[in-house]
Structure 1
Amino acid sequence: MATERTLPNLWHATAPAAPDTRPLARDLTTDVAIIGGGFTGLSAALHLAEKGVKATAIEAKMIGFGGSGRNVGLVNAGMWVKPDDLIATLGLEAGNRLLGELGDGPAMVYALVEKHGISCEAVRNGTLHMAVGAEGLKDISDRETQWKKRGAPVEVLSAERSSALSGAEGFSGALLDRRAGTIQPLAYARGLARAALAAGAEIYTDTALVGAERKGETWVLRAGQNIVRAKQVILATNAYGGMFAETPWQEHTQELTILPYFQFATNPLPEKVASRILPERQGTWDTGLVMTSFRMDQQNRLIFGSIGRLDAMAEGTHRAFAARSVRKLFPYIGDFRFEYWWDGRIGMTTNNLPAMHTLAPNVVSVSGYNGRGIAPGTVFGKALADHVTGQTSAIPLAETPVTPDTWRSVKSAFYHAGAQAKHLVDRRF
């Protein structure tokens, strides 16, 4: 089993406590077994339980261990791919359906937050896609045109307006998407888990799936030291499925290229400084070749992120780059220190769109969120719950065969090394 370094993660430090869960300690029979305790698996568990379906989620580590507890916390609408490009890939009917479902994704997230009283620092004042140079401005202008054709409330802001809303210097403009917002992602995941448990789902943590075989119409899953019998299985491990070498249906992880992403969070900033940085508390990311992001939390910490993994060799380079970037973007910031730092995995597909698979009879998955996990994970979790209960057209994606990417390891290594090389020299002058 692969391991990861334990790093001081802000979301772990500030999220409300997780609901009480334990490792599986008995054999059981359930209607639907869900493998993975992140946004997708927890959304599926919640929506199945609300239908009166017996749902059991099995998580190898803890609730939100993977990307759900490590991401930036941007509740974005749609995918990273531009709408017209998405339709060119999927076709008009399927593309428009996916755009509609995921365009409304933030609304689903915030509705669940309100319905279940999830304390997760939810702010719905939009997001800002910051333009780097003339090329970046053209990119966000194209996005504005394409989304406005579909009635989305998006707007390109001037450099001056972008600076006022972000508090940052050096950008040529920004795309404001009013559908979107921010949350504390681990707090949201834990809130989904609490709601799922209250609805009647079962969740077991520290319980790795180590084997599976089909006997008649039933899947017999070896989970830890025990057996789970289920007629239906939802595989919701996304970019973290490959951590566990004996996981069944392992081939679906071979189509995901792993893009590492790190974040550093400052100490709480003085009010006179914090009030100038993102005064309306939008979250941001930019159009740079090696993307960066920044946002604030409720304790007035600035959180800065970019592509890269915080391993022992690269952490110093990325830390120095993050510090230079913060000073360059916010020259008035004064003294600060990084109190938290952590990294995570983004699962990338070759077409930058999610993939839906039937991996075996009655075993389904959706994975490859390409950096858009919160709203799509929530949407697809519900869609998977509908799908396994008989709504065969519930998932807004056509089913495709698993197509392993033979270059995934090379690309993953390139992203890691390339980001480190760029961060070694970037923003020094």
Structure 2
Amino acid sequence: MATERPLPNLWHATAPAAPGTAPLTGELRCDVAIIGGGFTGLSAALHLAEMGVKAAVIEARTIGHGGSGRNVGLVNAGMWVKPDDLIATLGAEAGNRLLHELGAGPSLVYELVAKHAMACEAVRNGTLHMAVSAEGLNEIREREAQWQKRGAPVEVLPAEKAHVLSGAEGFTGALLDRRAGTIQPLAYARGLARAAIAAGAEIFTDTPLLAAERKGDLWKLEAGRGTLTARHVIVATNAYGAMVNGTPWKAQTRELTILPFFQFATNPLADRVAERILPERQGAWDTGLVMTSFRMDQENRLIFGSIGRLDAMAEGTHRAFAARSLRKLFPYIGDFRFEYWWDGRIGMTTNNLPVVHELAPNVISVSGYNGRGIAPGTVFGRALARHVTGDGSAIPLAQTPITADPWRNVKSAFYHAGAQAKHFIDRRF
């Protein structure tokens, strides 16, 4: 597995403790083996266990170690691809089904949170897509028109109203999506894990997949210090699959371009300041070419994110940009310091839509959430659970062969270097 530079992650500091787990040892048989302990894998495990199916999750590190414990925590509806563009790519029937399933994704997330009493700072007051310039305003108006004709509760707010709901300066408007909301993502992942275990699933952490071999109609997986035998395998590693060596299914990572994303979280802000920033606690992101995001947590920390990786060379540039941005967006913020900072990987596909693959007989995967992992991961986890138990129409996306992107490494390097260069310049004047 690849090594990572340890960074102080707010979600790790504030999430309730994970349920007790241990590495896999010895031999275990189950109906469905799930590789990856993030939103998708844990949702699949929970839904399988609730159907009475014996499911086991193997996670190379800890629950939510990958994108599930690093993202912004916006529970978005749909993908960021505009609805009409999505249908142009997939066709009317498949496209409308995916739009329906993912449009209802936040409802599934918040239903699970309520059903299992998850302590994860869940707030469902919508999200704000902030428009940068007249061009950005035109973009969100297109999104409004396309979603409204499908009955979605979305609305473009003028600049004045956008300022009131965001507390931020400089935006020309905002698209309010009332289906959506925010969550503490790692707390939600741990909540899914706890619910899955209570329903009868088994979860093994510090258990990397080392090898897999087909034995008749079963799969024998070497994982950690044990073996796991199952009829069906769900691969739910997404952008972090390349961290696992030895698996014959690692080829799926060749089609994902890795988009790095960082976040900085301030100290808890004074009440008089915090009540002006996102007073209804929507999460926000903008239409900028190099996107930025901002939201609050329940302790009144302001969390700011953008594209980039916090390696030793780039961290100072991104930190300075984050500080300048907060002072520019919120000129009344006063003194603050960053208490936490962390980064993660977003798995991007060439068409900006998820991909579903049958990697081998009875081995299925989904990846490429393109920065929207919470609701889609939960939806696809449930769909994969239904699929492996015999519902051939459960997955709202056609299975396709893996199509490697020969430019993915070049694009990943460009995103990292380009974001660093832009952040060195931006918001200095």
- The answer, yes or no, to whether TM exceeds 0.5 is yes
Contact 2:266 2:336 in 1 (8 A): yes
Q: Which residue of the partner structure matches residue 245 of structure 1?
A: 245
- Give deviations 1:249-302, integer Å, cap 9, x for gaps: 111110000000000000000000000000000000000000000000000000
- Give deviations 1:353-399, integer Å, cap 9, x for gaps: 00000000000011000000000000000000000000011000011
Residue correspondence of structure 1 range 210-289 to structure 2 within 5 A: 210-289=210-289
Q: What SS does the corresponding residue of 2:420 show, helix, strand or coil? A: helix
User: 1:103 corresponds to which letter in structure 2?
Assistant: G
Contact 2:23 2:225 in 1 (8 A): no
Q: Deviation of residue 187 (structure 1)?
A: 0.1
Q: What SS does the corresponding residue of 2:412 show, helix, strand or coil? A: helix
Q: State the distance in 2 between where 1:134 and 1:211 align.
A: 53
Q: Deviation of residue 245 (structure 1)?
A: 2.7
Where has structure 1 moved over 4 Å in runs of 4 or more? none
Residue correspondence of structure 1 range 273-422 to structure 2 within 5 A: 273-422=273-422
Q: Which residue of the partner structure matches residue 147 of structure 2?
A: 147
Q: Deviation of residue 96 (structure 1)?
A: 0.1
Residue correspondence of structure 1 range 104-143 to structure 2 within 5 A: 104-143=104-143
Q: Which residue of the partner structure matches residue 423 of structure 2?
A: 423
Q: Deviation of residue 247 (structure 1)?
A: 2.6
Contact 1:126 1:177 in 2 (8 A): yes
Q: State the distance in 1 between where 2:253 and 2:213 align.
A: 19
Q: Deviation of residue 226 (structure 1)?
A: 1.2
Q: State the distance in 1 between where 2:49 and 2:384 align.
A: 13
Q: Which residue of the partner structure matches residue 67 of structure 2?
A: 67
Q: What SS does the corresponding residue of 2:304 show, helix, strand or coil? A: strand
Stretches of structure 1 that go unaligned for 5 or more consecutive residues are none
Q: What SS does the corresponding residue of 2:40 show, helix, strand or coil? A: helix
Q: What SS does the corresponding residue of 2:65 show, helix, strand or coil? A: coil
Q: What SS does the corresponding residue of 2:24 show, helix, strand or coil? A: coil
Q: Deviation of residue 243 (structure 1)?
A: 1.3
Q: State the distance in 2 between where 1:9 and 1:334 align.
A: 23
Q: Deviation of residue 244 (structure 1)?
A: 1.8
- Give deviations 1:120-178, integer Å, cap 9, x for gaps: 00000000000000010000000000000000000000000000000000000000000
Contact 1:354 1:368 in 2 (8 A): yes
Contact 1:241 1:247 in 2 (8 A): no
Contact 2:36 2:58 in 1 (8 A): yes
User: 1:26 corresponds to which letter in structure 2?
Assistant: G
Stretches of structure 2 that go unaligned for 5 or more consecutive residues are none
Query: How many residues are aligned here?
Result: 429
Q: Deviation of residue 225 (structure 1)?
A: 2.0
After TM superposition, the score normalised by the length of structure 1 is 1.00
Q: What SS does the corresponding residue of 2:164 show, helix, strand or coil? A: helix
User: 1:407 corresponds to which letter in structure 2?
Assistant: W
Q: What SS does the corresponding residue of 2:152 show, helix, strand or coil? A: coil
The worse-fitting range, judged by mean Cα deviation, of 248-257 and 232-241 is: 248-257
The reply on whether 1:166 has 2:174 as its aligned counterpart is no
Q: State the distance in 2 between where 1:321 and 1:257 align.
A: 24
Q: Deviation of residue 25 (structure 1)?
A: 1.5
Q: Deviation of residue 248 (structure 1)?
A: 2.6
Contact 2:292 2:305 in 1 (8 A): yes
Q: Which residue of the partner structure matches residue 51 of structure 2?
A: 51
User: 1:243 corresponds to which letter in structure 2?
Assistant: M
Q: State the distance in 2 between where 1:164 and 1:411 align.
A: 37
User: 1:351 corresponds to which letter in structure 2?
Assistant: N
Q: Deviation of residue 224 (structure 1)?
A: 1.0
Q: What SS does the corresponding residue of 2:293 show, helix, strand or coil? A: strand
Percent of pairs identical after alignment? 80
User: 1:63 corresponds to which letter in structure 2?
Assistant: I
After TM superposition, the score normalised by the length of structure 2 is 1.00
Q: State the distance in 1 between where 2:227 and 2:246 align.
A: 15
Q: What SS does the corresponding residue of 1:197 show, helix, strand or coil? A: helix
Q: What SS does the corresponding residue of 1:63 show, helix, strand or coil? A: coil
| CA-atom RMSD in angstroms | 0.4
- Give deviations 1:30-78, integer Å, cap 9, x for gaps: 0000000000000000000000000000000000000000000000000
Contact 1:210 1:248 in 2 (8 A): no
